């Protein structure tokens, strides 16, 4: 069954009725530009074909109830109580349910609507997006919830506002200090294209990747090492970036250029400097990737992908041995380029591979994992897909 059918049957089992509709939003991979989003920088993600679906309908009372195929128990609260639950009492809600309920709370605030003015709703979720793989299963659930509630509650929020709502839910209702890249990719994604996003202005440009025309595919190598951005490492990296920006006297590391790095090195400790260097060089790599895609095509971006991985491994220190093994094995087997994708500390790496080499590269990565004594990776290709929508 597809996620779409699973969401419908979960809804029917929960309510004994048909949903008013189903909505969905995709996960994403990030081609390049990692940890740059919360530094007001540049990113180049694309939405993937894996989606989270929600079957939903209004209720007659003021209760909002969420259910998921991940968890046997549905969670229900009064819409009017969302304001008192989030953010202070969020720990009273089981973690997965904080995402959709946090979206409900943030969407009402974004629309300037009083919780007492809207009816309750039932929302039943099912997802094809692998969880904990660094493919933004959280942005997919947020995007699906925002699309459904926007329509059911007639909120009239545009896609960028729905992305902001998702980030607010993630930051305040879940407690993960993430940026806005994943929500923008999930809400604004386009089939066959990536989104070049300026995370300061939130201006988004659709960038034609041309993978198919160049005979290339993007292979995801999910290491199976689970990570969470609500915990330590991600927050620490963010704090180091904020410290670096403060030392440089700028609002965000977006305002530091490669030419400023020698001065940065004189002003800060080695660890802070290396965190700063990753962000500054990564922003430049995103801009270079855009230029190379335009001038030479996707077959020429491999060096930038590899440089990004090396910077995350050595300067930002967010890689793990499984990710490094995946990247090295893919490159040794002939991938055009490879890097870890997403927040790090586990999750997935990506490799840009010629269509007729995909099986060979995947086999080589699996063999390298076996040789290293790692659990087998899950590997599949992804293609750029449309963002959140009514199904």
For residue 315, state whether it binds ligand GAF (rule: CB under 6 A): no
Min dist CB 109 to ligand GAF, Å, is 20
The DSSP result for 81-150, as a single string, is GHHHHTTTTGGGS-HHHHHHHHHHHHHHHHHT--GGGS--EEEEEEE-SPTTSSS-HHHHHHHHHHHHHH
Q: Site for ligand GAF (CB under 6 A): which residue of 41, 120, 179, 302?
A: 179
For residue 308, state whether it binds ligand GAF (rule: CB under 6 A): no
* First-to-final CA distance of the chain: 15
From the list 182, 222, 315, 324, the catalytic residue is 182
For residue 343, state whether it binds ligand GAF (rule: CB under 6 A): yes
Q: Site for ligand GAF (CB under 6 A): which residue of 35, 50, 65, 98?
A: 35
Min dist CB 72 to ligand GAF, Å, is 27
Burial of 378 (0-12, 13-18, 19+ CB in 10 A): middle
182 in active site: yes
Min dist CB 163 to ligand GAF, Å, is 11
Stretch of 15-23, 150-158, 176-184, 291-299 lying at the interface with ligand GAF (CB under 6 A): 176-184
Q: Which of residues 203-242 bind ligand GAF (CB under 6 A)?
A: 229
Nearest to 195 by CA among 316, 310, 48, 313: 48
Min dist CB 311 to ligand GAF, Å, is 12
Q: Site for ligand GAF (CB under 6 A): which residue of 34, 128, 222, 315?
A: 34
Nearest to 61 by CA among 102, 121, 113: 121
Strand positions, DSSP E, 214-341: 216-222, 337-340
Describe the strand order of the beta sheet including 337-340 as a list of residue ranges: 337-340, 348-354, 216-222, 378-382
Beta bridge partners of residue 205, listed in sequence order:
196
For residue 41, state whether it binds ligand GAF (rule: CB under 6 A): no
Q: Site for ligand GAF (CB under 6 A): which residue of 22, 161, 178, 325?
A: 178
Positive/negative CA dihedral, 101, 103, 107, 110? positive
Min dist CB 230 to ligand GAF, Å, is 11
- Pick between residue 37 and residue 315 the one whose CB is nearest to ligand GAF: 37
Question: Diameter of the chain by CA atoms?
Answer: 66
Are 151 and 390 spatial neighbours (Cβ–Cβ below 8 Å)? yes
For residue 128, state whether it binds ligand GAF (rule: CB under 6 A): no
Strand positions, DSSP E, 209-283: 216-222
For residue 68, state whether it binds ligand GAF (rule: CB under 6 A): no
Are 348 and 223 spatial neighbours (Cβ–Cβ below 8 Å)? yes
Stretch of 30-38, 70-78, 93-101, 107-115 lying at the interface with ligand GAF (CB under 6 A): 30-38
For residue 40, state whether it binds ligand GAF (rule: CB under 6 A): no
DSSP state at residue 171? I
List contacts with ligand GAF (CB under 6 A): 30, 34-35, 37-38, 136, 178-179, 181-182, 229, 342-343
Residues annotated as catalytic (active site), given as ranges:
182
């Amino acid at each position: 069954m597809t996620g779409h059918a699973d969401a419908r049957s979960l809804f029917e089992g929960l309510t004994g009725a048909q949903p008013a509709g189903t909505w969905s939003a995709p996960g994403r991979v990030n081609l390049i530009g990692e940890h740059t989003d919360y530094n007001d920088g540049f990113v180049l993600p694309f939405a993937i074909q894996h989606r989270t679906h929600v079957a939903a309908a209004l209720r007659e009372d003021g209760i909002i109830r969420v259910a998921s195929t991940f968890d046997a128990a549905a969670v229900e609260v009064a819409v009017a109580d969302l304001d008192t639950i989030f953010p202070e009492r969020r720990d009273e809600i089981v973690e997965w349910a904080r995402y959709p309920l946090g979206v409900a709370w943030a969407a009402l605030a974004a629309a300037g609507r009083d919780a007492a003015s809207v009816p309750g709703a039932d929302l039943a979720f099912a997802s094809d997006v692998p969880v904990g793989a660094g493919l933004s299963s959280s942005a997919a659930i947020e995007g699906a919830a925002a699309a459904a509630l926007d329509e059911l509650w007639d909120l009239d929020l545009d896609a960028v506002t729905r992305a902001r709502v998702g980030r607010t839910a993630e930051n305040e209702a879940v407690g993960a200090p993430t940026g806005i890249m994943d929500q923008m990719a999930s809400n604004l994604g386009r089939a066959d294209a990536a989104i070049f996003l300026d995370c300061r202005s939130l201006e988004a440009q659709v960038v034609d990747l041309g993978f198919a025309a160049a005979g290339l595919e993007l292979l995801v190598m999910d290491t199976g090492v689970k990570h969470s951005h609500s915990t330590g490492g991600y927050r620490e990296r963010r704090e180091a970036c904020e410290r670096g920006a403060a030392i440089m006297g700028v609002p965000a590391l977006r305002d530091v250029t490669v030419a400023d790095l020698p001065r940065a090195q004189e002003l800060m400790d080695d660890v802070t400097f290396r965190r700063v260097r990753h962000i500054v060089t990564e922003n430049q790599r995103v801009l270079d990737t855009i230029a190379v895609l335009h001038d030479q095509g996707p077959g020429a971006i491999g060096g930038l992908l590899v440089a990004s991985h090396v910077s995350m491994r050595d300067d930002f220190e967010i890689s793990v041995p499984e990710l490094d093994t995946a990247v090295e094995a893919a490159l040794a087997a002939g991938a055009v380029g490879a890097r870890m994708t997403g927040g790090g500390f586990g999750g997935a790496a990506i490799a840009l591979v010629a269509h007729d080499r995909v099986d060979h590269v995947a086999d080589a990565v699996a063999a390298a994992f076996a040789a290293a004594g790692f659990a087998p990776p899950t590997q599949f290709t992804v293609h750029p897909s449309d963002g959140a929508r009514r199904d």
